[in-house]
Amino acid sequence: MLLPEKTLEAHDVFAGKLTMDDLETLIDFKTGRQKRIIYSDPDIYQLEMEKIFGRCWLFLAHDCQIGNPGDFIRTFMGEDEVLVVRQKDYSVKAFLNTCTHRGNRLCKADHGNKKSFVCNYHGWGFGSDGKLNGVPLEAEAYYNKLDKSKYGLIEVAQLACYKGLIFATFDKSAPSLEDYLGEMKWYLDIWLDAMPEGTELIGTAMKVELPINWKLPVENVSGDGYHLGWAHAGAMTVSSSSKLTDMEVGNTSVDNSAAVSVAGLNGHAVLAALDGKSGYAFYPDPEIAENYLGKNRENVIDRLGEYRGKNMWGSQINLTVFPNLQMLPGLNWFRVYHPKGPGKLEMWTWAMVDKEMPEGLKSMILNNVSRTFGPAGLFDNDDGDNLQAITEQSRGWRTKQMDIYTNMAIGGEHSRKELPGVVSNGLICEQNQRYIYRRWQEMMRANNWSGIPTYNSLEEARATEAG
Amino acid sequence: MNEASVSKEIYLSLQQLLFREARLLSAERYDDWLDLLSDDVQYEMEMPQRRFREDRTQASAPKKTPIFNDDKRSLLMRIGRIKTGFVWAENPVNAIRHIVSNIEVFDSDKADEFTAYSIIEIHRSRLDAERKRFTAGRNDIWKKTASGFQLLKRTVALDDGVVLDSNINFFF
Ligand code: FES
Ligand SMILES: [Fe+2]
């Protein structure tokens, strides 16, 4: 099954201009192979900005971050800086954070509340609705001839909210957010809709700049349970209060029947233990969380049904919304990656909780998120060097011609009546990464959304597989 | 903070102690460092936020997010992780220097407790030519005990709005 790598000549990899044929050779979905050059090549990166970040629905903000009119968040869609602003009528608008006069950055604060945004360069003033309201010396310098209605802030093409999460896309022709998420909604609801009042982010973003290609942390969290027992051996040794799918430090044993990898969800992916409690395996004192789960489980079963309520709510679950949003109920972190060039990204991590959780549990969660996956996180601090090294190991002239592999558990894909999507056994399985790269390739080669397939089951995934 | 500064003797002993602490941390002598910490030590550092000075919502700003919010138990957990020998990022050893400066020491309301302000600059030399640098202000409360000074509380104010290293496997 593992294809031995042929000896490549320099002309076997594309050089310079990227062609459709090149795109075909970068990924092999069936055998689980990627060309290393996808992590370093500037042309590929530019194409990703256009075809992926320029077209996908991207996470902007959680509802709770901009509760009141005038509240704003400064964030990114790809490398484009975006200002997300709560309007007077409580709707949300998102604009490129750039002045339409000479192109200065409009707002420098991370978040806050403003009635209007005044540019620091010449003082043009924009309302929170994006309209250009004030132009200094309008009569003297523009002879009152400037048509201000033509110089408002540039809005995103579409903006929509799914159960508290605000997304936007630069592409007018993108499918609706609901269709884009597809059956992934069924999995997102395990967190977003388990409790009647939904979720909230607590605290502000923990931001880290990493010399890493943006795809690597995404594929890692989407499906790489394999690295847990090894890369995180130190953290697991000191912080585990129980075992996740009987995984042993040092990767000496695991129970792969106790969990699932799920993909084929329009490019989104899920890793999930099925025990209903392992989300709190890496909390030193999980009792308050266990009480909370116990107290609310019946209600959650009412809301989400028997299977999700019993087997999934409270479990360790990794949710990946393609291309750059990941959230882990249980460990309770919520994360978005902003690409900053082929070899750089900014990683923003928050703690997310159910609004109805007791204050004591919320504080415990905030501390635990920061202690496990913050900038000084016991777990997160193990991943940076590995992913940085993979990025760097895709630059050397000879090395970047090599393949790398996600060919674990090929042939294990199956359907389950209780779970949407394509399912494989276990957290230790590379199915999800294969599907992430399949989606990457589908997005990269399609000229428009009608060329991007929709699939939410094994049957559909097979029917839409490129030949 | 009581701005009246302390006797030369107290100042010098705390200054020497902060220098010694920096040397212990740079040398990864964590057991010796732990001896300087009170059993109910609070060790805190927050994620900085960039907000407008005049922001009207300052009072209702989102809850601050800790990078460190540690007590002795969780510090022991962090050190325990490093000591497992499984933290691959720290092998080979990363050279690290803790530079302490601008030390000021003040009396507090309690006779045996002193506040110390200092600036810490941390340099790490990692793989090949990689070099990382952190600067932060520190506000400490040190308690004078029969066996010497012990750290009761340290509040670290990190300068960077985006953390510029992929791990913080060290202490400020
Ligand atoms: S660039 Fe903004 S006012 Fe001129
Ligand atoms: Fe990891």
Q: Where are the beta strands (DSSP E) in A211-285?
A: 259-265, 268-273
pLDDT-derived band of residue B1, with 50, 70 and 90 as boundaries? Answer: low
pLDDT of residue B59: 58
Q: How far is the CA of A200 from the centre of ligand 2 (A)?
A: 24
Is it the case that residue A216 has pLDDT exceeding 70? yes
CA nearest to A432, candidates A277, A259, A310: A259
Among protein residues, the one with the nearest Cα to ligand 1's atom 1 is A102
Let me know whether A155 and A272 are in one domain.
Answer: no
- Interval A297-309 mean pLDDT: 98
Q: For A167-192, how does the pLDDT look when each residue is reduced to its tens digit (9 = 90+)?
A: 999 999 999 999 999 999 999 999 99
pLDDT of residue A366: 96
Give the CATH number for residue A332: 3.90.380.10
Is it the case that residue A98 has pLDDT exceeding 60? yes
Residues near B172 by beta carbon (within 8 Å), at least 6 away in sequence: B45, B68, B120, B122, B134, B136, B138, B154, B156, B158
Q: For A119-142, how does the pLDDT look when each residue is reduced to its tens digit (9 = 90+)?
A: 999 999 999 999 999 999 999 999
Q: Is residue A8 part of a domain?
A: no
Is it the case that residue A12 has pLDDT exceeding 60? no
**Partner-chain residue, chosen from B62, B82, B87, that has the shortest CB–CB distance to A204:** B62
Q: Is residue A309 part of a domain?
A: yes
pLDDT-derived band of residue A8, with 50, 70 and 90 as boundaries? Answer: very low
Q: How far is the CA of A383 from the centre of ligand 2 (A)?
A: 5
Is the pTM higher than 0.80? The answer reads yes
**Partner-chain residue, chosen from A110, A346, A376, that has the shortest CB–CB distance to B50:** A110
Do the Cβ atoms of B88 and A367 come within 8 Å? no
Q: Is residue A49 part of a domain?
A: no
Q: Pick A178 or B49 by higher pLDDT.
A: A178
Domain that holds residue A353: 182-466
Q: Pick A251 or A97 by higher pLDDT.
A: A97
Let me know whether A153 and A219 are in one domain.
Answer: no
- Interval B127-137 mean pLDDT: 96
Lowest mean pLDDT among A6-20, A402-416, B40-54: A6-20
How far apart CA B140 and CA B57 sit, in angstroms, is: 29
pLDDT of residue A367: 95
Q: For chain B, say whether A293 makes contact (Cβ under 8 Å).
A: no
Measured from CB, residues less than 6 Å from any atom of ligand 1 are A 99, 101-102, 104, 119, 121-124
Let me know whether A81 and A147 are in one domain.
Answer: yes
Report percent pLDDT > 90 for chain B. Answer: 88
pLDDT of residue A181: 98
Do the Cβ atoms of B67 and A206 come within 8 Å? yes
Mean pLDDT in chain A? 94
Let me know whether A190 and A144 are in one domain.
Answer: no
Q: For A334-345, how does the pLDDT look when each residue is reduced to its tens digit (9 = 90+)?
A: 999 999 999 999
Per-residue tokens: A15: 């050089």
- First CA to last CA across chain A, in angstroms? 18
Let me know whether A224 and A297 are in one domain.
Answer: yes
pLDDT-derived band of residue A19, with 50, 70 and 90 as boundaries? Answer: confident
Let me know whether A98 and A221 are in one domain.
Answer: no
Residues 358-397 of A with CB under 8 A from B: 366-367, 370-371, 374-376, 378, 380-386, 388
Let me know whether A386 and A459 are in one domain.
Answer: yes
Give the CATH number for residue A143: 2.102.10.10
Domain count, chain A: 2
The size of the A-B interface in CB pairs under 8 A is 139
Q: Is residue A268 part of a domain?
A: yes
Determine the residue of chain B that is closest to A249 in CA distance: B86
Distance from CA of B80 to the nearest CA of A (A): 7
Q: Where are the beta strands (DSSP E) in A296-367?
A: 317-321, 325-328, 333-339, 345-354
**Partner-chain residue, chosen from B47, B73, B74, that has the shortest CB–CB distance to A206:** B47
Residues near A80 by beta carbon (within 8 Å), at least 6 away in sequence: A53, A96, A170
Ion ligand 2 — residues with CB < 5 Å: A 383
The H or E element containing residue B21 is: helix B8-26
Q: For chain B, say whether A233 makes contact (Cβ under 8 Å).
A: yes
pLDDT of residue B53: 87
Show the domains of chain B with their CATH numbers: 1-48+108-165 (3.10.450.50)
Let me know whether A315 and A216 are in one domain.
Answer: yes
Let me know whether A329 and A255 are in one domain.
Answer: yes
Domain end position, chosen among A98, A130, A161: A161
Let me know whether A148 and A186 are in one domain.
Answer: no
Is it the case that residue A145 has pLDDT exceeding 70? yes
- Interval B47-52 mean pLDDT: 91
- Interval B100-123 mean pLDDT: 97
